[in-house]
A and B are shown apart, each in its own frame.
Chain A
Amino acid sequence: MSTETPTLKKKDFQSDQDVRWCPGCGDYSILSAVQTVFAKLGLPKEKMVIVSGIGCSSRFPYYMDTYGFHTIHGRAPAFASGLKMARPDLHVWVVTGDGDAMSIGGNHFIHLLRRNVDVNVLLFNNRIYGLTKGQYSPTSEEGKRTKSSPMGSVDHPFNPLGLALGSGASFVGRTVDIFQPHMRELMLRAQAHRGTSFIEIYQNCNIFNDKAFSYMTDKPNRADNVLYLEHGKPMIFGAEQNKGIRLNGLQLEVIELGGSMGPEDCLVWDEDRQNPAFAFLLAQLAPPNFPTPIGVFRAVEQSTYDGDVLRQIDAATTQNPGKLEDLIYGGDTWTVEPPQEQPAG
C-alpha cells in the first residue's frame, strides 16, 4: 500500500444515492462486501471503476462512490475492455447478472475471458430475471415454472463456471452472497490476479426466486452441501468432516471417511493446474448427489490482452516513433510546379 494514499473506510465508497434494490435482496450483502474490500485494497479511489450492463445487479455503480458506468445490456465486458486498453492504470470491475452475462452478453463474456483482459467480473447469479419481473434465465433449472414458462422451462441451463473454463479463463471462483468473509477473500484474490478474474456469486432474489440456494445456505444443511476449495488441501466436507471427494477414472465421487478411507484418499485441490479439466470436473458437482464447491477453481498465470497490446505499441513507438509529416508526405508523391509567370512590369 502506498503511504501517500489516505486510508479509506467502507463509507468512503458509499455514494449519496438511495439504494433501490428490494428489501432482503442478496445484492445488499455483495455491495457491502465490495465497499469493504475496496477500502481494504488501499488503492486511490479515483482509480477504481465499476462498469455494468443492465439488470438489477447492474445498478451497482450508482451506489459506489467511485467512477462508474452503467452501460447497455450484456455489453459491459466490451466497454471494460476498451477502457482498460486505453487506461491500463485503472482498476476495472465489471458487475453483471445471469441474464446480462449468460444470455444477451454471452458473446462478450466468452471473448473477454479468452483474451484475458485484466479486469474483474462479478456475476450475480440468482437464476431468474428480476428486473423484468420473473422470467426464467439461462441459469434457471430445467422445468422451472415462471411467468414465461407456465408449463416449466424446457431450456437446458448454462453452467457459468464451465462456460468460463471453456473460454480459457485464467481465474475462476464461486462464492455466495451471505458468506461474507469468503466473498471478501475471493474479491481480494480477484484484484490481485493479473488477467480476467471471474467470480460467480450465488445471489438470492427473495421476490422472484426465493431460497434458490437455501439448500446450501441454511445452517443445518450448509456443512453437508458446501465444499470449500482450499489450495493444497484434500477435499473434505460434511458436518463431521466425514466426507471427501475422490477421483475415480474421469469421475469424481463422494467417499465416506473414517472406515477404510481417510483424507489421504481424497483429491488434493490444486488451483493453479494448467490443465482446466479438473476445475471443469469440479464445476459439474451439484446437488443432490454432490456438495456445491465454492472458492477458487482456477488461478493460473497467462499473458493479458491489454498488456500485449501495450507491448506492441511500445515496441512500435520506440523503434520508429510516428511523425505526422512522414505519414502524410510518405508514399509516392509528385510535385506540380507553379506555372511560369511573366515578370511583372
Chain B
Amino acid sequence: MTTAVTNPEEKSGRAVTPEKLSDVVIRFAGDSGDGMQLTGGQFTSTSAMVGNDLSTLPDYPAEIRAPQGTLAGVSAFQVRIANHDIHTPGDEPDVLVAMNPAALVKNLGDLKTNGVVIANTDDFDARNLKKANLETNPLEDGSVEGYRVYEVALGTMTRRTLEGSPLDSKSQERCKNMFALGMAYWMFSRPLEPTIQWLKKKFGRKPDIAEANVKVLKAGWNYCDITQVFQVRYEVDKAQLEPGIYRNISGNSALAMGLVAASRRSGLPLFLGAYPITPASDVLHNLSTYKNFGVTTFQAEDEIAAICAAIGAAYGGALGVTASSGPGIALKGEALGLAMIVELPLIVVNVQRGGPSTGLPTKTEQSDLFQAFYGRNGESPIPILAAASPKDCFDIALEACKIAVKYMVPVMVLSDGYIANGSEPWLLPKLEDLPDLRTDFRTDPEGFHPYQRDEKTLARPWAIPGTPGLEHRIGGLEKEAVTGNVSYDPMNHQAMTDVRAAKVARIVQDVPDLEVDGEASGDLLVLGWGSTSGVITGALNVARSEGLNVSRAHLRHLNPFPGNLGEVLASFKQVLVPEMNCGQLAFILQGKYLKEVVSLTKVEGKPFYRHEIVSRVKELLKGDADVH
C-alpha cells in the first residue's frame, strides 16, 4: 500500500461512477489536538475553489487542550457544500469523521439516518473508551446500527506511510488528520492540490513536516482508491452563483477588511484598541497584519483601556474602533457612555458569545441585544447594527463608519461566534462601488462652537486638537447646548438629553426601508436579526416548497429600526421572531410597536436548525387555519 503513495493520480483508477449530489454535510470530529478545525478548514477552502456554495460551523471547546480523549475535549467542524445557493451549514451531517470514541458518541446523535461514519479504529481501545466514559465499544455494541460505518486504522496507516521519515513518532501521529482529509477528498471527488500547496506554504521552513503531511494526505486518497473500502463516491457540482469573483471568507476576516476599507474610503487612519477575547480576537489578529494600510492596533492592558484609547484616537481624528465580546463590552460601558455624551465617532464591535458572565466563550448566542440597547447608565441611546452573515460583516463595517462619522456618534456592531468563525463564499465588491465616506474636520474658527449642530444630522463639528483657534474642552459632565461649557441647568439637561436621542433617531434617514421577501402582507412574517438570516431563509424555502405562504424580513438595523418596520409588522396577522436568546428583540418590538409577536428562542450555544423554524412556522399557520 505504501508504495502506491509515491505518485498518486487524482484521477481514480477504479471504475466507480461518482454519484451526483446536490448538497452534502460533512462533520469532522476529534480531540482538540487532532487538528479538526484545520482539516475542516482545508476541506472548505478546496470546496470553495471547486466552486461549490458552502457554509461552515466550527464548534470547539473553550479549553485549549482539554484532557485528551474525553468528551469535553471534542472539537468539530461541520461544512455543507452544494451545487446551489445555500444559507446554513445544515441540520444533520451526512458524513461523520470520528477520530476517537468521544467524538463518535458526542456527534452520532446528529447524524442523518443511514449516514456515513468513518471511524479511526486505532483510538477505539480500552484506554480511550474509558476516557469517553464508555463501558463498551460503540462500534461493536449496536450504537452505530442504522449507519454505514467504515472502520479505518488512521494512526496505523499514517505510521506506515511515514516509515523512514525523519519525524519523531509524535509528529508522525499528528499527520493522521491528513489521512482522514485525503479520504474525504476521494469520497467527494475533490482535488488534493490546493491543500498540498497550502501545506508547503504553511510549513515552508519545516520541509520534513510539509512532506510528511503531503504524503499522508495522498495516502488517504490512495487508500480509498485502491481498496474496496467505499462502495460509493460522490460529486457535488459547481454552484450556479451570481457571476463574479469570489473568495471564501469568515465573519471576523470580513469585518477586519471592512474596517480597512472604511479607513481608506473615509481617509481616516484606523486605530483599533483591543484586549484578547474569544471569539473576537481574530479581528485584532487580522488588523495587526494590516500595518501597511496605516492601521494602528493597540493591545491594551484591559477592555476599558482598549475602548478609552480608541476614543482618544477618535478625539485626535482617527477612525477609532474597539472589538470585543459580551464580557468585554460590559467593562466598556462607562467609556461608551462618554463617547456618546461627548459625541465622538467610534465603532464598537461585539462578537457575541454565550453568556452571562464568562458563559460559553466558544459558543454562539445573540443575548447581548439588551446590553447594546440599555447597557449604559443614564439616557444613552446609540445606533446598533447587526451583521447577517460572514460576508455581511464587510458591508456592516463600512456602514458603521458612515453613521459614526456623519452623526458623530459611537456605533455598536453586533456579530456573533457563528458568523465570526463560520465562512461562506463572498462575491467580491467592485472598489468603485464602495461608499464614499469622506468627512471634513472643522477648521474655521469663525463662529465655532463645539456643540453647535448640523441642521440635517444634528451632528456637532469634529474639531480635532492641533487646529488653531478651535481650542475647546469636552468631557463627561453635562454640557451647555452650543458652547459645550459645563452646565447643571435643569432645562438644559432635558434639552441635551432630547437632542442626543433625536440625533440617533434621525439616523433613520440613512436606514433603508425593511424589505419583505414574499407577500407584503399575510398570515405570517418571520422576522430575524443578525446571524439567523441564513437559517430563516433556508427554513422558509422548505416551508414554501411545501406550499405554505409565509413571508420573511431581516433586520440589520436595530437602532434606529427601519422607518417602515411598524407598517410591516401591522401587515401580518402573526409575526414570528426567532433569536438565540430568551426573546430580547421580541420584547423591544412589542414595547415599541405594541404588536404582539411570537418568540422562538434558543440558547444552546449553537445556531437554530432549519427544521426548528419550519416546524414552528407550520404550527403557527395550522393554528391560524384552525381559527378561520
Contacts and interface: CB of A to CB of B under 8 A. Distances in A.
Interface of A: 15, 17, 44-47, 49, 51, 54, 61-62, 64-72, 75, 77-87, 89-90, 107-108, 111, 309, 312-313, 316-317, 319-322, 324-325, 327-329, 331-339
Contacts of A111: 300-301, 305
**Nearest 4 pairs of A and B residues by beta carbon:** A70-B475, A82-B312, A82-B309, A322-B293
B477 interface: yes
A87 B194 contact: no
B245 A329 contact: yes
Contact of B261 (A54, A81, A328): A328
A333 B338 CA distance: 42
Interface residue SS majority, chain B: mixed
B48 A332 contact: yes
Nearest to B485: A17
A8 B40 CA distance: 66
A151 B575 CA distance: 62
B475 A44 contact: no
Given A15-B473, A75-B335, A332 B248 contact: yes
Contacts of A325: 431
The listed residue with most A CB atoms (<10 A of its CB), out of B241, B257, B309, B467, is B309
B465 interface: yes
Given A108-B304, A313-B294, A327-B261, 19 more contacts: A46-B468, A67-B471, A69-B312, A69-B475, A75-B335, A78-B300, A79-B315, A82-B273, A82-B312, A82-B314, A85-B309, A312-B291, A313-B296, A327-B290, A328-B261, A332-B247, A335-B244, A338-B243, A339-B243
B292 A335 contact: no
Nearest to A46: B468
A86 B269 contact: yes
B51 A334 contact: yes
Interface stretch (B89-97, B123-131, B316-324, B620-628): B316-324
A333 B246 contact: yes
Nearest to A317: B292
A317 B292 CA distance: 4
A322 B302 CA distance: 29
B317 to A, nearest CB: 7
Contacts of A61: 473, 475
The listed residue with most A CB atoms (<10 A of its CB), out of B244, B473, B474, is B473
27 contacts: A45-B468, A45-B471, A46-B468, A47-B466, A54-B476, A61-B475, A62-B473, A67-B473, A71-B475, A71-B476, A72-B335, A75-B305, A78-B301, A78-B305, A81-B309, A82-B311, A82-B312, A82-B316, A82-B320, A83-B312, A86-B271, A87-B316, A111-B300, A111-B301, A111-B305, A336-B246, A339-B243
A325 B240 CA distance: 25
B308 A328 contact: no
Interface in B433-488: 434, 464-477, 485-486
Given A111-B305, A329-B245, A335-B245, A51 B312 contact: yes
Contacts of A70: 473-477
The listed residue with most B CB atoms (<10 A of its CB), out of A15, A70, A89, A334, is A334
A54 B476 CA distance: 9
B431 A333 contact: no
Given A86-B313, A328-B428, A71 B468 contact: no
Contacts of A69: 312, 315, 342, 473-475
A125 B605 CA distance: 49
Contacts of A17: 485-486
Interface in B310-367: 310-318, 320, 334-335, 338, 342
B338 A71 contact: yes
B551 to A, nearest CB: 29
Contacts of A54: 476
Contacts of B257: 327-328
A71 B301 contact: no
A107 B300 CA distance: 11
Contacts of A65: 471
Contacts of B434: 324
Contact of B467 (A46, A51, A336): A46
Contacts of B470: 46
B45 interface: yes
